[in-house]
Structure formats: C-alpha cells, structure tokens
Amino acid sequence: MTENQTPSKQIAGARDAIDGKLIALLSEDARMTLTALAQKLALSRTAVQARMARLERDKVIVGYRAVIGSQRDPRDEEGLGAVLTLTFSQRPCAPVVQKFRHWPEITNYYSVTGPLDAYVVVRVNTAQDLSQFVDRLSAVEGVASVRSSVILKEDFG
C-alpha cells in the first residue's frame, strides 16, 4: 500500500498509531508546520494534511489555541489555589459552563449533585487575582452565585 492510499479502517473513522503521533505532536505545538509534521511522521505534506482534515471532520481535533504566557503560569504551585462553589440560574448548565471552561486559571471542574451545581478549582497569582477572577465568573450570564475558599495546604498529589 502506498503512502497516499488510505486503509479501510481510516475510512471508517478509526485512528491508527500515526494519527496518535500526529495528535501528540499537535498537542505539543499546534503551530508546527505541515512540513515539520510530515518530516516527523515520515509522510508527505499532502498525507499529513489529509489526516488532519479527517481528524477535524471526525471531531478528534476540535480546534487550535494559543496558550498565552505571563511571568509565571498561574497554575504553578507557588500561586494561590482556591475551590469555588457555583450555583447556576439556568438549565441546562452546559451552555453556561461553555462560557468559562477554557479559562486558564481553572485547573479542575466538577459538576455535582445537591444544593450546589459545581466545584471549580483555580490557581491564580495573588489574592487580588482571585477576587478579580470571582468577579469575572460572577458576571457570566447564568451563574447565580460564586463562593470561594482558599486552599491552605495540598496534602495529596
């Protein structure tokens, strides 16, 4: 089988080892050129482009994003950690969560049952940053309330 022939399992949407390596390379650097990807995968640019198009079409790759750096990543251990409790004013909750799910300060998100709707774990640089984050999250349409608790010590992990 030549490089440009597509195995039948790829036609059906299944991924192979090359797809896995392509996804890993893009996860490391989504700006990697087709030429660089092709060299690392030992494929032609056209074959890589076709694989990427298929992975996008199959919703394996749903987007590319820039990770914006600062002096220090707010998720570093030296930052201030907090657990936020959220209640939502609208149902379903998913459209509300979609508005903030990719905010870089959020390290974990948990939908829960009971009187609260969610727990959100965040890491920021300072207490002022936490205050601004809570204000920003509280302003999201569909968020009814936000309460924060600063993490004093992390015993596991």
Residues sharing a CB contact under 8 Å with residue 108, sequence separation 6 or more, in sequence order: 119, 120, 121
- pLDDT above 90 (res 142): yes
Q: Check: CB of residue 96 under 8 Å from CB of residue 112.
A: no
Q: Which helix (H) or strand (E) holds 8?
A: helix 8-11
Q: Tokens in use for 156?
A: 């596991």
Is the pTM of the predicted complex or chain greater than 0.85? no
The Cα–Cα gap between 108 and 110 comes to: 7
Q: Is 101 helix (H, G, I), strand (E, B) or coil?
A: coil
Domains of the chain: 8-57 (1.10.10.10), 80-150 (3.30.70.920)
17-28 and 45-57 are packed helices; what angle lies between their axes, rounded to 10 degrees? 90
Which range in 10-14, 71-75, 149-153 is most confidently predicted, on average pLDDT? 149-153
Q: Is 34 helix (H, G, I), strand (E, B) or coil?
A: helix
The count of other CB atoms within 10 Å of the CB of residue 105 is: 21
pLDDT digits (tens, 9 = 90+) for 79-126: 899 999 999 999 999 999 999 989 999 999 999 999 999 999 999 999
pLDDT digits (tens, 9 = 90+) for 29-76: 888 888 999 999 999 999 999 999 999 899 888 887 766 665 544 444
pLDDT band of 12, cuts 50, 70, 90:
very low
Strand 143-150 versus strand 106-111 pairing type: unpaired
